[in-house]
Structure 1
Amino acid sequence: MTSLPSKAEFAAIQKGYSPNASRSLSLNADAYIDPRWFNVDLKEIFAKTWQWVCHVEKVREPGSYIAVEIAGQPIAVVRDREGVLRAFYNVCKHRAHHLLSGSGTSTRIMCPYHAWTYRMDGQLVRAPHTETLEDFNTKDICLDQVKVEEFCGFIYVNLDPQATSLSEQSGDLETEIRHWAPDIDKLTFGHRLTYDIKSNWKNVVDNFLECYHCPTAHKDFCTLVDMDTYKVTTHGIYSSHMADAGNSSSSAYDVSNATVKTHAVWWLWPNTCLMRYPGRSSIIVLNVIPAGPDRTLETYDFYLETPEPNEMELQTIKYLDEVLQAEDISIVESVQRGMNTPAFTQGRIVNDPDGSGQSEHAVHHFHGLVLEAYARGA
């Protein structure tokens, strides 16, 4: 089992970072390559933050459920018979077998190992052949609950029993998202893209949070949006990335019939990105999932006006999959390799005080949140 960093290392990891982005270095390379820091990420960040699960449509009806893994833990989210949203560790209280798989609807939760059966509120109601047990009562046994919240049309869970609500933590984020995407609750799942990336999750987030690299690495993207209007604003535990759609023809995909003319993106600490690209009304959810010190899984879920993407959305999906993602994956995998050499420890944050897209102040904001979590872990 990998140990955690020492107190001295917790102190040293802060070196070079300044609260002033114009004076700051980036996060130390050790945080991206050392398995001990990856363990801190799981314990102090992912196990204590709000993690995206799905769109509310998955668990809208009483009896609906979805089983997922959050920070390495099996979790089930259900809507009970009274319509209350609940989340539990997806683990039977008898012999720790998993309970639910995938998603669907049910009137009960029955363990596939010994048929112990729970109500949708987690209360045990039946345990076969336990009549002769002493001091045993099904009413005393209930699944371990996890914090769950419906926020902006999506479901999030938090494994930290002390966590305050996502709504409270995120300030004006919901107001901002609903201003640009007022129909977000009514959208429906249309498509999923998945990726397995040879890079630490923080490199993936770093790359997402700045468009300083866009003119060099994403020339098609720079025709999709008007880079002169690109602004990035940081707040508490999120950042907003806004730009107008490009005025000329786009080489990324055809936006001539677009009803949404704004490129609006929100990053929510630590690993959820909500995107509204020019086109029809839609939301793309990027979920960045840490799978190892140098491995990240990504899902891109497209929520659309209709279950089937239209021609413009098919072009969008193709562009994101075959062009934009291919470019970004190549970048972050190269950065990960570079961080594993003796040639790199930290680099300067490039900061524009006016908050343009071609600035790394949102990366600096993210690094500050990482270091705050590390300080708490120390």
Structure 2
Amino acid sequence: MRENCERPFEDARAMPPGVYTSEAFLTLEQRDLFEHEWLCVGRASALAQSGDYLTARIGDQPVAVLRDTDGALRALSNVCLHRMSVLLEGQGNVHRIVCPYHAWNYTLDGKLAGAPLMDRQPGFCKEHYALPAVRCETWQGWIYVTLNEHAPPVSAHLAELSALIEPYGMTDYVETFHEEHVWDTNWKILAENFMESYHLPMLHRATVGPHSKLDEMECPPGHRAFNYHWITKEATLPIGNAHPANQRLQGHWRRTTALLAIYPTHLVTLTPGYFWYLILQPMGVGKVHIRFGGGLAPEFIDDPKATDYMATLKTLLDEVNAEDRRGVEAVFRVVHAPLAKPGRLSPLERPNYDFARYLASRLGAM
């Protein structure tokens, strides 16, 4: 893989099969990527009320992100301090974090509030117990977490991307749905599929493919923390272009879509009228957990037809996702084949080349 990454883009190949199938490679990813990088876990607006929470993993570490009683976002270890049971599952709202195993329970800031019968144990002091905190910051309305105490703030980490997409005002986009899925593929196969639009005319021929013109796509070189590409077009859906009330976007920006791959696992399609995203979490080499969501720009939320726009968007994205699932699961089924070899990348797969170079630069042993 490293040898391939040293080639100039004009001579670049796809990543070798072992990158997707090797358990040892996944172990390196968990150690050198997931336990050190900023990882997105969802939209801050999904945790609007005190006690709202969502759960995720940073490598092998379960994490709960919640809105505390003061309205601040916190990330905590999602492991009980008694016998190490997982505390919270999925997403929801709680007044107190209660362990489902022995009912040790914690306040929303992680302090131990109660431990049944432990007052009978000499020397036990609940004030000495608090769930370890995890770094948690927001960027453009997204929640990011990391175990890396030395990582720069996420706003600095993604400052170059903030400058590129500033006209959209993504912070104010409103999430209208989110779901969780598990697909039978390697997480990088799905990430690469999202990063490039070369596949749109064929894989998505029943949905967005006929409206996707390859010669309208621009794929600039990627940056250290992300890659991106642009599509400037007249959208077939009203929400694909800027709303008439949108005063932020001018000129070509009113019809330009940005496709963002924020390393390692946050993938966003940002249009003038809507956004949708995937957040990936490997569950082994052949399974990936997906947090899938989307929503509308504020002008479309305020439009009298907002409900119709939401329904139209969800229907389209469900169909596109089903097509992508068939494609990426088909790749994983045969990437093990003895005669499978990586081919040359097209001009529109520059993001895949940059992603491979990112991986090669982060993984300490390959």
Q: CA deviation at 1:53?
A: 1.7
3-state SS of the aligned residue for 1:293?
Answer: coil
Taking only aligned residues, the RMSD between alpha carbons, in angstroms, comes to: 2.9
Separation of aligned partners in 2, 1:99 and 1:201: 26
1:47 to 15, 19, 35: 35
| Residue 257 of structure 2 is aligned to residue 268 of structure 1 | no
Residues 200 and 212 of structure 2 are in contact (CA less than 8 Å); yes or no, is this contact kept in structure 1?
Answer: no
CA distance in 2, matches of 1:208, 1:317: 18
Deviation at 1:76? 0.9
Counterpart residue type for residue 316 of structure 2: Y
Question: Cα gap change, 1:177/1:256 in structure 2, threshold over 3 Å: closer, same or farther?
Answer: closer
Per the alignment, do residues 128 and 195 of structure 1 end up closer, same or farther by CA in structure 2, a change over 3 Å counting?
A: closer
After superposition, the Cα gap between the structure-2 partners of 1:32 and 1:132, relative to the gap in structure 1 and judged at 3 Å, is: same
| Per-residue deviation, 1:77 | 1.0
26-35 or 158-167, which deviates more: 158-167
1:9-28 to 2 correspondences below 5 Å: 13-18=1-6, 20-28=8-16
Partner of 1:321: 318
Structure 2 residue aligned with 1:288: 280
2:337 to 337, 341, 361: 341
Aligned amino acid, residue 202 of structure 1: K
- Listed one character per residue, the Cα deviations across residues 96-118 of structure 1 (whole Å, up to 9, x for unaligned) are 22323444444433333333232
Q: Tell me the TM-score normalized by structure 2.
A: 0.83
Give the equivalent residue in structure 2 for 1:158: 146
Q: Choose the corresponding residue for 2:308, options 300, 311, 314.
A: 311
**Partner residue, 1:10:** none
Who is 1:4 aligned against? none
Letter in 1 for 2:322: A
For residue 248 of structure 2, what is the aligned residue in structure 1? none
CA 242–257 in structure 1, closer or farther in 2 if over 3 Å, else same:
closer
**Alignment partners' CA distance in 2, 1:59 and 1:377:** 38
Q: How does 1:93-108 map to 2 (within 5 A)?
A: 93-108=81-96
Asked if 2 retains the 8 angstrom alpha-carbon contact of 1:124 and 1:138, the reply is yes
Q: Residue 185 of structure 2 contacts residue 288 of structure 2 at CA under 8 Å; is this kept in 1?
A: yes
Q: Any residues of structure 2 matched to 1:109-128 within 5 Å, and which?
A: 109-128=97-116
What do residues 113-151 of structure 1 show as CA deviations (whole Å, max 9, x unaligned)?
A: 333232322122333333343443222211112111111
Question: Closer, same or farther in 2 for the Cα pair 1:256/1:97, shift >3 Å?
Answer: closer
Distance in 1 between the 2:240 and 2:72 partners?
A: 43
> Which runs of 5 or more residues in structure 2 are unaligned?
244-253
Cα distance per residue 1:294-346 (max 9 Å; x no partner)? 22233320223549963344333323322x33333333233223321121233
* SS of residue matched to 1:146: strand
SS in 1 for 2:260: strand
C-alpha distance in 1, partners of 2:308/2:12?
A: 45
Residue matched to 1:8: none
**Secondary structure of the structure 2 residue equivalent to 1:113:** coil
State the number of aligned residues: 349
Name structure 1 gaps, 5 residues minimum: 1-12, 352-358
Quickly say closer, same or farther: Cα 1:327–1:127, change in 2 above 3 A. closer
Cα displacement string for residues 217-274 of structure 1 (whole angstroms, at most 9, x for unaligned residues): 3345354455433212311111222222337xx4xx5669862633222110011111
Amino acid at match of 2:345: I
- The reply to whether residue 331 of structure 1 matches residue 352 of structure 2 is no
* Aligned position for 1:5: none
Shift of 1:93: 0.6
Aligned match of 2:250 = none
Aligned match of 1:169? 157
Comparing 150-159 with 312-321, which one deviates more in the overlay? 312-321
What secondary structure is seen at the aligned counterpart in 2 of 1:16? Answer: helix
Q: How does 1:1-378 map to 2 (within 5 A)?
A: 13-18=1-6, 20-180=8-168, 182=169, 184-192=170-178, 195-219=181-205, 220-225=207-212, 227-233=214-220, 234-246=222-234, 250=236, 259=243, 261-277=255-271, 281-304=273-296, 305=298, 306=301, 310-322=307-319, 324-351=320-347, 359-374=348-363, 376-377=364-365
